[in-house]
Amino acid sequence: MQVIDNIPALRQMRAQINGRLGVVPTMGALHAGHLSLVEAARAENDAVLVTIFVNPTQFAANEDLAAYPRDLPRDLDLLREVGVDIVFTPTPDLMYPPGYQTYIDVEQVSQGLEGARRPGHFRGVATVVAKLFNLTQPTVAYFGQKDAQQVAVIRQMVRDLNFPLEIAVCPTMREPDGLAMSSRNVYLNAEQRRAASVLYRALQNAGDIYAAGERDPEVLRRAIFDTLRTEPLAAPDYVSIADARTLQELTQPSDAPMLVSLTVGIGKTHLLDNFILPAELNDRVGLSRVLGG
Ligand code: AMP
């Protein structure tokens, strides 16, 4: 496994790869969710490249950039075990040298949900992902459904700017109690960690009601809030029932696929999760199919 921290070496390595290259962008602090993306990339390509970069432009001034968990030696051990060919670990200065001034705004799809809660977040995400695509030239790039709006933003950018690559989406990996794996889960103390399973219970509750035939977004929203209220440590930021293709909030009953998503504060940590309805769409190809090429 080659660990590369500069652009000339990266370009040289990239030029030597024959066949399909799978790329997995991450911010490090790797867990089994990240590794599932790497495994999919390995199964479907001739070579795999993982990027590890805590991207400052996607954090707002009041967010946890300095505190974000970092453990490069551990990450590299995990990637070596899974079998990765190249790891690219740029510094902030390499990605944003003095005088840097180009940013990408994906307009509509960045606006609601996490975009409303974290102004500027998706501008930072789209910009860094575009740069990583130009640097690594993936055949396929792998992202997690856990960040469904991020997938929608990146697919839109790929379409709009004609990036010559495919976007693959992998299902959300969960802890045994249903909590979506996240690098930020380490911020939770024992009591908060126990409370955090309420997000999954709320999504499941909506899924059960939907499976029984309910299609009214207001009823689904209320069911989620009812479950969240059973957990005193949970402070919801938002609960959204949106059209899964456009991410527009639904006000009327609909048979089109829905993206149920929520962010919940537990202490100072904001946890994000989602579920697509009908439930069969939460697989390796569901979100890709809904969002289209
Ligand atoms: P991050 O390091 O948080 O930026 O995540 C890197 C990639 O891993 C993103 O595409 C995430 O959506 C994905 N990811 C994060 N958590 C999970 C999870 N629990 N299951 C599957 N993919 C995940």
Residue 12 inside a domain? The answer is: yes
Average pLDDT (178-206) is 98
Q: What percent of the chain has pLDDT over 90?
A: 99
Residue 71 lies in a domain: yes
Q: pLDDT value at position 292?
A: 83
Ligand 1 center–CA 52 separation, angstroms: 12
Contact 215, 253 (CB under 8 A): yes
**144 CB near ligand 1 (under 6 Å):** yes
Q: Which residue's CA is the closest to the ligand 1 atom numbered 14? A: 144
Same domain, 135 and 8: yes
Same domain, 190 and 101: no
Domain check: are 98 and 228 in the same one? Answer: no
Domain match, 194 and 250 both: yes
Q: Are residues 102 and 217 in the same domain?
A: no
Q: Whose CA is nearest to atom 17 of ligand 1?
A: 33
Report pLDDT for 263: 98
- Ligand 1 centre to CA of 273 (Å) is 11
For 105, the token pair is 């705004």
**pLDDT score for 171:** 97
How many domains in the chain? 2
- CA–CA gap between residue 59 and residue 243 (Å, rounded): 27
Residues 79 and 14 grouped into a single domain: yes
128 part of a folded domain = yes
* Residue 207: both structure tokens together: 């899924």
Joined tokens for residue 201: 């219970």
The verdict on 153 and 216 lying in the same domain is no
Domain end marker among 110, 143, 170? 170
Q: Are residues 58 and 105 in the same domain?
A: yes
- Name, in order, each residue with C-beta under 8 angstroms of 229's C-beta and a sequence gap of 6 or more: none
Nearest ligand 1 atom to alpha carbon 142: 10
For residue 293, pLDDT over 70 is answered with no
- pLDDT at position 30, please? 98
> In terms of residue numbers, what domain contains 260?
183-280
Residues 198 and 97 in one domain: no
Count Cβ neighbours within 10 Å for each residue of 39-78 and write b for 16 or more, e otherwise: bbbbeebebbbbbbbbbebbbeeeeeeeebeeeeeebbeb
Active site residue 34: yes
209 shares a domain with 162: no
**Mean pLDDT value of segment 110-122:** 97
Same-domain check for residues 240 and 114: no
- Torsional class of 99: left (φ above 0), alpha (ψ -120 to 50), beta (otherwise): left
Residues 99 and 202 in one domain: no
Name the CA dihedral angle for 109, 110, 116, 120, rounded to a multiple of 10 degrees.
-170
180 Cα nearest atom in ligand 1: 19
Q: Which of 151, 173, 174, 181 is nearest to 247 (CA)?
A: 151
With a 6 Å cutoff on the Cβ, whether 114 touches ligand 1 is no
Segment 208-235 shows an average pLDDT of 98
Q: Tell which residue, 139, 127, 156, 115, has the closest CA to residue 53.
A: 127
74 is a domain residue: yes
Q: Is 293 part of any domain?
A: no
- C-alpha of residue 216 to centroid of ligand 1, in Å: 30
What is residue 261's predicted lDDT score, i.e. its pLDDT?
A: 98
Among 139, 170, 201, the domain-final residue is: 170
Mean pLDDT throughout 96-124?
97
Separation between Cα atoms, residue 121 and residue 247, nearest integer Å: 17
Report the separation in Å between the CA atom of 125 and the middle of ligand 1, taken as the mean of its atom positions: 13
Tell me the average pLDDT of the chain: 97
Q: CATH no. for residue 216? A: 3.30.1300.10
Judge whether 243 lies within some domain. yes
* CA 221, 187, 147, 287 torsion-angle sign: negative
* Residue 177 counted as domain residue: no
Residue 174's pLDDT is 98
Confidence (pLDDT) at 102: 98
Within-domain flag for 8: yes
Domain boundary, last residue among 170, 205, 224:
170
Question: How many whole angstroms separate alpha carbon 148 and alpha carbon 150?
Answer: 5
**Residue 11: pLDDT above 90?**
yes
Mean of the pLDDT values across residues 206-235?
98
Q: Give the pLDDT score at 21.
A: 98
Q: Is 128 in the pocket of ligand 1 (CB under 6 A)?
A: no
Q: pTM of the prediction? A: 0.98
Residue whose Cα lies nearest atom 10 of ligand 1: it is: 143
Q: Give the CATH number, domain containing residue 131.
A: 3.40.50.620
Q: Which residues contact residue 283 at a Cβ distance below 8 angstroms, ignoring those fewer than 6 apart?
A: 171
Q: What strand order describes the sheet that includes 2-4?
A: 2-4, 86-88, 47-52, 21-26, 140-144, 166-170
Most ligand 1 atoms within 8 A of CB, residue of 35, 147, 151 to mutate: 147
